Every structure is written in C-alpha cells, then in structure tokens.
Chains A and B, each alone.
Chain A
Amino acid sequence: MKILVLISNVPDTTTKIRFTGDNTAFDSTGVQWIINPWDELALTRAVELKEAGAVEKITVGNVGRQTTEPTLRKALAIGADEAIRVDAEPEDAFFVAIQLAEVGKDFDIIMAGIEASDYNGSAVGGMLAELLGFNSVSAVSGLNIENGELIINREIDGGSQVLTIASPVVTIVQKGIAKEPRIPAMRGIMMARKKPMNVVSPVEAKAKTEMINFELPPPKAACKLVDEENAKELIRLLHEEAKVL
C-alpha cells in the first residue's frame, strides 16, 4: 500500500497570535513553524505501519511556498520516503484540495489531520476525498492493516466505532492515531537530505473564501479571588452572580 500524508506548515502552538496591516494579516515575525500536530501524528502512524511491513511507501504532500521546505524535510527525517510540494500560496481549503487532488490520485490511503492548528478549517481531507471520489472516514483514532484490510477506529459524537472500509480512502485523523509524535533521529536527519523533494506547479483554481480581517477576543476582566478557607463563597458567586449553577 502507498500512503500520502498531508502536511500543513503551522505556527508553533505556543505562538502569541498577532496581526498586522490593520488586522488583515497574521504577523509571522519571529514565528517558529512546525508540522501541524495532527499531521505529525498521522505521519508517525504511517511510519509505524511501514515498519510493520504493511505499507511500501510514504509520501508527504503540501501546498506551500519554498519556506515550508524545512517542515517537509523534518517529515522526511521522521520517516517519509519522498515529499511533494505544490508551489503555491495555500489560499483556502478548496484551493489546497484542488492542488492535492492532482497529486493524490494514485495512493491507497491518504491521511489528513482533523484540522490545521492555524485556521482550524477541518476541510481539506473531506474535500480531497470528494474531488477524488474516494471514501473518507473522519475523527480516526486508530488505523490498522490486517491482510490488506483496513481496520479503523473512529470517534462518533457520544462514543466510538470500529469499522472496515475499502481503499482508496482518506482518513482524517485525530488524537489516538499514534501515541507520541516521532522525533527525528540523527540518522533520519542525514538521510532526509538525500530524499526527493518534488516541486510541482499548481493547476488553475480560484479560492472560494477569503479571510478579510481578524479579531482578538476581548480582554478578560481580572479574576475574582476567593479565600481557600472560605471556598464555599465560590459556589455562592457562581450561583448568585454568574448564575451558572
């Protein structure tokens, strides 16, 4: 089986979020870029499956400018065999899905994260599946391959399920798909330098949505403190003042 893991290049999750140009653009000054946490877990699971002999080849795919290459190199160092970068600004989920559909046709399994931690779109995986006519499973927390059959755990609202589904399939993964993200080893980092980084040109496509500006949440009022010895007062305040009990 061949796996394509989609990689989104996102700001580190501790980044202080700021905007520039009258709140029209994310301020990336000094930002450290990482593999989207769910994509990193997806890749980790793909590498585990390859080590177990159930997968022949892992490709990572990204739509982005050259600045995303360090993130893709990291994915190669973790254990992907090759990277494909569609050389374009990722304008919106639709635009990205159109680009990935061009390069994603020949895979048995495509793994996407449940969302990207920057714009929280939860969209590329499902759109890509639809464009390719593939099956899709969302909120995937486990993926196993037994005798060529895919066995998938997924979360549903109010429980979980185990299911089987025929490939080709897009699995949209969340927590649980792998325990801890893999950290690249020295050997992996050395090998990553020689692995193929295929840069392809984008196809014509027009975004359907545009983030016109941003807002930060209103600042919180100071926290009202209650004395440890008089903790019952907290319940009174929640009941009478906040009216939430």
Chain B
Amino acid sequence: MSVLIYTENWDGKFKKFSFELVSYGAAIAKELSIPVTALSIGKVAEDELKKLGKYGADKVLNVNDNRFNSIDNKALSLAVAKAAKAEGAKVVIFAHNNLGKALAPRVAIKLDAGLVSGVTALPSGYDPFVVKKKVFTGKAFANVQVDADEKVLTFFQNSYEPVETENKVSIEAFDPQVGDEEFATTVKETNKITGKVLLTDAEVVISGGRGMKGPENWGGLEELADLLGAGLACSRPVSDEGWRGHEEHVGQTGKIIAPNLYMAFGISGAIQHLGGVSSSKFIAAINKDPEAPIFEAADYGIVGDAFKVIPQLIEAVKEL
C-alpha cells in the first residue's frame, strides 16, 4: 500500500509546487502508516529525482519514455493508473493544474476511486475520509466525504508548506507497458512562455485593470514586476480589449492564482475577478474610488491615482 503522488516536471525540473505535493502526500501517508511513492514521467536526472525524497518520498518510480511527451491524456492516465495498481495506492494525488485536472478524473474511473478536486487542506478525518475543497470559485469551501476505498485528489497550489525531512529514497525505473495504440495526440506546435515569471508560479503578482486606461501605460507595472521578480496579471476586460495577452487574465473565467501578494492597480474588484485571486495571502489595492469593492477584499490599500502611486512604489522598491 502507498500514497502515490504524480510529480510533473518542466523540462526535467521540479518546482516548489512538486515538493509541496510530496510533503502533503507524506503527511497523509503518515496518518495511514503507509509509504510514499512519487511517480515521475519523462526525462529527469537522478539528482533531481532524489530531491523528491527530501520532501518525504520513500520511492520514486521513474518512467523514461518519450512517447508521453505528447501529453496524451488517455495514455498518461493509463500509466498513472498502472503505477497506482502496482503500488497498491490508497490515495493518488495530482496538482490542481492543467495536467492534473486532465488526468485525475480518468484515473479515478480506472481505479474505481472517489475524486475530490481543488483540495486545500489535509483530510479532517480518515474513517470516513473527509477533505476540504474550494467551491463557488473560492467563495466557499465544502467538506467532502469519500465513500470509496481508493481516493484521488487534485491539490491546490500554495495550500501546504513543503517540509524537508531526512529520508532515504530509492529510485526505480518503471515501465507501465502502455501500447502505441493508446497514444492519439499529435502535437503540431508548442509555444512555451519564456523569459517571464509564470503567473501560476509567482509569489508576487502585479495586476492591472481597466483603470490603467490603455496598453501604453503598462511600463510602470512591468518595471515594478521586474524589480520584484513578480508575475503580471490583468482583469478580463484588459485581455478582452487586447491590451494584454490572454495568459495574464485572472478571475473566474481566467486563471485562479494564490500568490503571497496580489497587487491590483485600477481594478474594481468585481466578484468574478475576486474569485480568481481571493486565496492570495495578501491583497494590496490601488484604486481612485474609495467605494471600489476591491477594498473589501484587500489587506492594504491606497485610495488614489495609480499613475501617481506607481512611480513612488518603484522608488521604494529600489530602496529595499
């Protein structure tokens, strides 16, 4: 028996989120008194795989088969399910990101498991198994009871602090024996976002709304983001107008993020916008309207003109 964590890699590297997942899985495994297995699919160097041990993995199953690079959901979920069966996994954990959301439901069916997605905390009970998840786009939480022997969870980023442990980890090659006929996806083109802090990884996010008036006014926000190593985001009308790319749109219909700090410039704070950012640890808002709803969600605020405030903030950050 084990807790199995699917740890995705990005060009052969893991992220803080990967370690967060392993630590979270290790805490569950400890309650159940069973070992922790991490599953890595793709080409990852041994040193990098060993890092998973530092966060609590007892074993890493390493599938080095480049057919999986096409991210074919059917083939990948078959590989994960085979690993779960080989390990007798009681709980299978995915990231609540694009790939995790794509695979977890398929794996849950294959394992006849109960699925809870968007989980934000350790289970509050194990018999019956009850775990908390976000509902209504962050406006509430539900405690979900799983009535199945096997559980599949997708876990929300920045919900658990990674903890380092002293752990002996074994690394084993694993061949899930997925036939060629399972692969149906032919990738024609891949566009990676480069040279920018990925919004979903960023610990600080600088975001602009319609109050920024036009794309030509983003220079200050970009400079601020640069100085802070922050990611850039925007409200929906800003991406709809084409002022900024769609990948920066946050909110109910865009990306849902949970950075340590979200700074909103010229954003009114509509309920659909807040749905995407309300899990941020701190929110700072700059808006010239004292009645703007963003101030109800914010921890810090300036009622004022963003164009006057931004240069001062840049100066202050340079002095840090």
Contact = CB atoms under 8 A, between A and B. Distances in A.
Interface of A: 11, 13-14, 17, 19, 37-38, 93-94, 97, 114-115, 117-127, 129-131, 135-139, 141, 151, 154-166, 172, 175-176, 207-217, 220-221, 223-228, 231-232, 234-239, 242, 244-245
A214 to B, nearest CB: 5
B82 interface: no
A118 B204 contact: no
Interface string B86-119: 0000000000111101111110111001111110
Contacts of B77: 130
B185 A163 contact: yes
Contact of A17 (B72, B73, B136, B185): B136
A244 B260 contact: yes
Contacts of A156: 71, 98-99, 190
Contacts of B301: 223-226
B130 A14 contact: no
B1 interface: no
B115 A94 contact: yes
Q: State the main secondary structure of chain B at its contact with A.
A: mixed
Interface of B: 8, 10, 70-74, 77, 96-99, 101-106, 108-110, 113-118, 130, 132-148, 154, 184-193, 198, 200, 203-204, 228, 246-247, 249, 252-254, 260-261, 271-272, 275, 278, 281-282, 284-285, 295-305, 308-309, 312-313, 315-317, 319-320
A161 B190 contact: yes
B316 A162 contact: no
B187 A232 contact: no
A161 B135 contact: no
Contacts of B74: 129, 135-136
Contacts, number: 274
A176 B105 contact: no
A159 B118 CA distance: 22
Nearest to B108: A127
A214 B102 contact: no
Contact of A214 (B70, B116, B141, B249): B141
Contacts of A231: 302, 304, 308-309, 312-313, 316
28 contacts: A13-B275, A14-B271, A94-B109, A115-B101, A118-B135, A122-B117, A125-B105, A129-B106, A130-B77, A135-B184, A138-B98, A159-B193, A160-B247, A165-B184, A175-B254, A207-B147, A208-B147, A211-B143, A212-B145, A213-B143, A216-B140, A217-B141, A225-B301, A227-B302, A227-B304, A231-B308, A244-B203, A245-B204
A131 to B, nearest CB: 6
**Residue among B96, B144, B203, B296 with max Cβ neighbours from chain A (10 Å):** B144
Contacts of A154: 98
A55 B141 CA distance: 40
Contacts of A155: 98, 247
A97 B108 CA distance: 12
